[in-house]
Structure 1
Amino acid sequence: MAAEKNKQLVDDMYKGLNENILGLMHRYWKEEMVWEGPAGIGTMNGIDEFEHVYRKPFIKAFPDKHATDIVRIAEGDWVAATGYQDTTFAEDWLGIKASGQKIRMRYMDFWRVEVDEETGNRKLAENLVLIDILGVLEQCGYDISKVLHFVGSKPPEFFNQIEE
């Protein structure tokens, strides 16, 4: 029963995410939530940081995005899913030049749900996230083997010199 309620919480949260409006996530997430994203994005501590540091530029870059899980499972306090976001890459994101084209961004999420003992309300407390950023680059015309070769051929200090 708890697993089904947790999956429903994630389903409801997706409906809010797919509206692409800031502020809706307070309904589904604890204020002190943690969102652990992939390299290049990092960890967001708290719902306000998640909304304004991560989601705001994401919505700007992908204003019509729509997430669809192809697999969603739940066990105990955890819900996991994998799927894709179909979207238009409208504005630059993470230093990647926008293509103006439709892309499909793959993802994998693991959410931990907490139940408020006083109210019985379920809220998302933690999210471990993988986003296929290399797949985004590839869809924007980058030759991934050359990107990886270039990155691998340079010492870390090289990238500290690059101006944003």
Structure 2
Amino acid sequence: MTFQSEKALILAHYDALSRATPKTVADVLNRRVAEDWHWRGVYPFHERRGASEVAQTFWIPFLGAMSRVQRRQDIFFAGRNQIDGFTSTWVVSMGHLMALFDAPYLGIAPTRKIVMLRYAEFNRVEGGRIMETAFFCDLLHLMQQAGLQALPPQTGAHLVQPGPATHDGLLFDDRPEVQGEATLALINRMLGDIAANSNSKAGAKPRDATPQEELARCWHDDMIWWGPGGIGATYTADRYVEQHQRPFRTQLADRKFNGHLAKLAEGNYGGFFGWPNLTLNPTGGYMGLPGNGKSTADMRVVDIYRRDGEKLSENWIFIDVLHFLNMQGLDVLGRMAGMAPQPAQI
């Protein structure tokens, strides 16, 4: 199984975007995307159709605010999508869009300094065209780099996140199919462990005695969980439990899994996204915020994993936190617009 044509298309697409301007970006997109291209972006961009609409919604404002944009990829792989019976081919890219923040963006005042916008992108390629895209970026982390603390202090660490410890995440050459199958099987087994220990059903008894026992089935003890702005990153199984898993499982109730739209793997890397993956009820305390007292909210999530031997070692997570909070009545962008920078904690 080869993905060379699909990978080449996405790399050419990125190369062309690296030279695009606000005036040319719509034409650049149009060269390689389908006429009815379905683009999904985080809040406030949401779902768009076609090159012109995506350009107007995301790329023209972004390129108008950010100078000398440079895509710095840390992970790049392709594969067939398990969700549709391994029929469609997707190409995944993750890293940062580095730039000089020179003009206001989404109400955030410019710094005239380097900023690193975390991103993860899934592209479905068919017939030499990009048919579908999911583009997740970490706007909360961008705010933090601009000196805006939009949320109370969190349990994890907020920092510009590196790529894989092994520095082998750019799979420009195809990997043996058996490697991707092993990675995907491990990811699925890990997701099964989460389901087996879910406390979403009243009176349900977890399968494993402790969270550490659950994690030990599929994770190395020195695991790294590279979480999004609003939650933060954690290192080692014990700190992951303390700084992410326990708040997530105890401060979010009535968890409903909605499924994934794409799930794939190649070599030691794999991942998925959903739209939304989860629906939950914030009962109070999560991300330092009170319960909404009204209704549930959706989480759109990307997870990208690195397998090391028989277990998972690293996990990069993107959550559309602004959408999750907006569904609870908190407009973070509106609240932060025009605010003066505060001492950064990144």
- Rounded Cα–Cα distance in structure 2 between residues aligned with 1:10 and 1:107: 15
Gaps of 5+ in 2: 1-177, 199-205
Moved over 6 A (4+): none
Equivalent residue in structure 2 for 1:17, among 194, 200, 206: 194
CA deviation profile, 1:48-101 (whole Å, cap 9, x unmatched): 111121100110112332443221010111011102112222233112221242
Aligned residue for 2:339? Answer: 154
Report whether the alignment pairs 1:107 with 2:301.
yes
What do the CA deviations read for 1:28-60 (whole angstroms, capped 9, x no partner)? 111111111111222111111111211001101
Question: What secondary structure is seen at the aligned counterpart in 2 of 1:153?
Answer: coil
- Of 45, 67, 71, 2:235 maps to 45
| Match of residue 88 from structure 1 | 281
Task: Say if 2:275 is the partner of 1:98.
Answer: no
Would the alpha carbon gap of residues 141 and 28 (structure 1) be closer, same or farther in structure 2, given more than 3 Å must change? same
SS of the residue 1:128 aligns to: strand
Alignment of 1:59-98 (within 5 A): 59-67=249-257, 68-83=259-274, 84-98=277-291
Contact map agreement 1:109 1:128 (CA 8 A) in 2: yes
Percentage identity across aligned positions?
25
**Residue in 2 that maps onto 1:118:** none
Following superposition, the deviation at residue 150 of structure 1 comes to: 2.7
**Counterpart in the other structure of 2:80:** none
Aligned CA RMSD, in angstroms, stands at 2.0
Asked if the contact 2:181–2:266 (Cα under 8 Å) also holds between the matched residues in 1, the reply is no
Matched, 1:134 2:319: no
Q: Which structure is higher in helix share? A: 1
RCO comparison, higher one (Cα < 8 Å, 6+): 1
> Separation in 2 of the partners of 1:103 and 1:16?
24
Counterpart residue identity of residue 157, structure 1: Q
What is the alpha-carbon distance in structure 2 between the residues aligned to residue 77 and residue 140 of structure 1? 37
The separation in 1 between residues aligned to 2:279 and 2:192, in whole angstroms, is: 15
Change (3 A) 1:25 1:66: farther
Rg larger in structure: 2
Count the aligned residue pairs: 151
Whole-angstrom distance in 2 between the partners of 1:156 and 1:41? 20
Q: For 2:344 and 2:179, how far apart are their aligned partners in 1?
A: 46
Q: What is the CA distance between 1:156 and its match in structure 2?
A: 2.9
Q: Distance in 2 between matches of 1:124 and 1:3?
A: 13
Q: 2: distance between equivalents of 1:63 and 1:16?
A: 18
SS in 2 for 1:50: helix
Structure 1 residue matching 2:239: 3-state secondary structure: helix
When normalised by structure 2's length, the TM-score is 0.41
Supply the AA of the counterpart residue of 2:287. L
Q: Does 1:56 align with 2:246?
A: yes
Paired with 1:15 and 1:99, the residues of 2 have a C-alpha distance of 30
Which whole-Å deviations, capped at 9, do the CAs of 1:92-149 have from their partners, x for residues lacking one?
311222124222211001100010xxxxxx111000100111111111122x3xx313
**Any idea what SS the aligned residue of 2:313 has?**
strand
Instruction: Show the counterpart of 1:28.
Output: 218
Q: Which runs of 5+ in 1 are unaligned?
A: 116-121
Structure 1 residues 2 and 114, CA gap change in structure 2 (3 angstroms): same
Specify the SS of the correspondent of 1:157: coil
